[in-house]
Chains A and B, each alone.
Chain A
Amino acid sequence: MTRLKYSPLNLGRWLVWGGTALLMIVLPLILTAGFTLTLLSQIGIGIIFALSYNMLLGQGGMLSFGHAVYSGLGAYFTVHALNLISKGSFYFPVTLVPLVGGLAGIVFGVIFGYVTTKKSGTTFAMISLGIGEMVAACSLMFPGFFGGEGGVTTNRVIGQPFLGITYGPSIQVYYLIVGWALVCMVAMFAWTQTPLGRMANAVRDNPERAEFVGYDTHMVRFLTLVIAGFFAGIAGGLNCLNYEIVTAENVGALRSAGVLIATFIGGAGFFFGPVIGSIVFFTMVTAVGAVTKAWAFYLGLMFLLIVLYAPGGFASLIAMHVPVIKARLMRRLWLPYAATVATGTVLLIGLISLVEITYHYSLEAETAPEMKLFSFAFKVTDGAPWAIAAGLLVGGFIISRFAWNAVGRAWGEIVHILQDRAAA
């Protein structure tokens, strides 16, 4: 696992951070598809949420199944705060309203976290699951606060516009999200460079030794969870502003599982992993979700493949190429990679076809057997499309095995060369 080292004039780091900020700012101006702004807003909020989750999973070694509790309760407190502000009960600028969510995250982090963090490992995971279920159950027990099944609605356009900013148009909310996301990213990165952040790593790696150098591991985990709760709460507050409605889904197990999947796909061992993970995750949910009902199947399959073959996530796949690029050995990989992409595309088309045809067949075979896929029109009740799809899948699998073996050989040679150079 690589560790980010502090060096203020690190060019690479400035490029990564600056590039991220620039992309977030200019992307909505370049991409104009209908769902772009929705997707980018989700990603921005998702980045804060997943990074806060990774304070637990990646930095502190705590596998939580209930992180949505903190973002969800943050969202609920924000929605009630917004409604009180609009009634004139008190004044608070909308720009800073996510802080209400953050505060709620801290309070519930203190309340639930003290119990949850007593133990690590499986016990922690189980308790976090239990607390998640408890809070989700409360959402139906206290409809006054949680709004029952309909949730609580609000209106973010309140108070006097400031410099023409009303937060009415989605683009204004998007830039509010970007602002908060950048501030939170910097703050969470800074946290990894503090004594508490480092001791969270120490407690993750060897809790017993941490106790024998003077640290109460329970306290380290507890404080880490409270701070993670704060950032999760901010993400929840932004969610509330973005959708102007908060429902029980916000505290639910599905949301908790989503952030785990996003973080893991991106790579829990790297600070930027959850950022990548959020991009991939919400692209699957929203962009792929816009074109196919089978998006969850593809997401699940991707998660499975990552867990099995690249447990360090996308970030680790990128990071493993850094020494190769430095050693100027990438040219050995281009050809096998190109072959893998080509053969993999065949495999993927076969897989997608089969999945889509199956979905269409099981859902609409009776009423509308015609479907269009990759600009081919056909009837799912015919045998031919099934045979072609299956053929592509099997054929693609066989030829991509060859390409994959070539990748393996190329990597074997590269590792060999790097070892020889290191020894020399």
Chain B
Amino acid sequence: MSAAIELRAVTKSFGNTEIIRGVDLAIPQGERHAIIGPNGAGKSTLFNLISGRYPLSRGDILLNGVSVSGLKPFEINRKGLSRSFQITNIFQRMSVFENVRCAVLWSLGYKYSFWHRLGGLKDANLQAEAVMESIGLKARRDTPAGVLSYAEQRALEIGITIAGGANVILLDEPTAGMSRTETADAVELIRKVTQGKTLIMVEHDMGVIFDIADKISVLVYGEVIASDIPANIRGNKAVQEAYLGTESH
């Protein structure tokens, strides 16, 4: 079985500056993989390359064994990859329910239909209700997303990401800016909704990472300097020097 995501010599330059410098990485199906690294290491850029937000400069990215480099975000999404954003990226003026339902429409095959009545789409409505239930926002069903609390918006962000049933999920700092209890809830939520899926996560909170991740890759100045199970990452000298030792969080 081919890897869920495979990066081959992925390189990205902005102008003359190389932000990602030849990253090779293979993440098998069903693995929960965390990417860590100091600020400016290129973690978010890496996510933007995988999800099609930015084009690659060189190299190739394979999703379930098929190259997706050069594809647009919606094409990659249709192939089963979905992502969340570090800065909350939801449909602010729509209700929680509408947010989630928009995220399930394509995967259920309704595409650009103007001959189906939304109210009559049983499968889409049920799936949207189920997602709201799992992210704990059922009580907020008809609230405009823009007026939710920060933690609720982060949960909705994850809800939109998983709603379409993608099997590869990318979460960009899902617990950033959260309190201790909110973080604990978020970890539970992430664990629950990514069951049986491949998860790739950028995160700063070491507690969260060691809690969730099966494997950790350390990105420093656009290069992966180590990729291993958490216990080995903790003991890795190069990692300690480059990252853990110098950063407090």
Residues on A lying within 8 angstroms of B by beta carbon are 1, 3, 6, 190-191, 193-199, 201-202, 205-206, 208-217, 219-220, 223, 227
Contact = CB atoms under 8 A, between A and B. Distances in A.
A323 to B, nearest CB: 15
Given A198-B118, A206-B89, A227-B114, A213 B101 contact: no
B114 A205 contact: no
B29 interface: no
B92 A206 contact: yes
A193 B91 contact: no
Interface string B79-99: 000110100011111110010
Interface of B: 51, 72-74, 77-78, 82-83, 85, 89-95, 98, 101-103, 105-107, 110-119, 121, 160, 163-164
Contact of A193 (B51, B106, B117): B117
Given A195-B112, A199-B112, A213-B105, 6 more contacts: A194-B113, A195-B114, A211-B72, A212-B51, A214-B77, A215-B74
A209 B163 CA distance: 13
Contacts of B82: 212-213
B114 A191 contact: yes
Contacts of A211: 72-74, 77
A202 B113 contact: no
Contacts of A213: 77, 82, 102-103, 105-106, 160, 163-164
A85 B34 CA distance: 70
A1 B117 CA distance: 22
- The prevalent SS among residues of A at the interface is helix
Nearest to B78: A214
8 contacts: A3-B98, A197-B114, A199-B112, A202-B94, A206-B90, A212-B51, A214-B105, A223-B112
A195 B116 contact: yes
A196 B111 CA distance: 8
Given A194-B117, A214-B164, A223-B112, A208 B89 contact: yes
A202 B160 CA distance: 12
Contact of B94 (A3, A215, A217, A223): A3
Contacts of A195: 105, 110-114, 116, 118, 121
A211 B78 CA distance: 10
A414 B106 CA distance: 43
B74 A220 contact: no
Given A195-B111, A206-B91, A212 B73 contact: yes
A51 to B, nearest CB: 15
A197 B103 CA distance: 14
Contacts of A220: 112
Which of A190, A196, A213, A215 counts the most chain B CB atoms within 10 A? A213
B113 A205 contact: no
A243 B115 CA distance: 34
Contacts of B94: 3, 201-202, 205
B77 A212 contact: yes
B176 to A, nearest CB: 18
Which of A1, A198, A223 counts the most chain B CB atoms within 10 A? A198
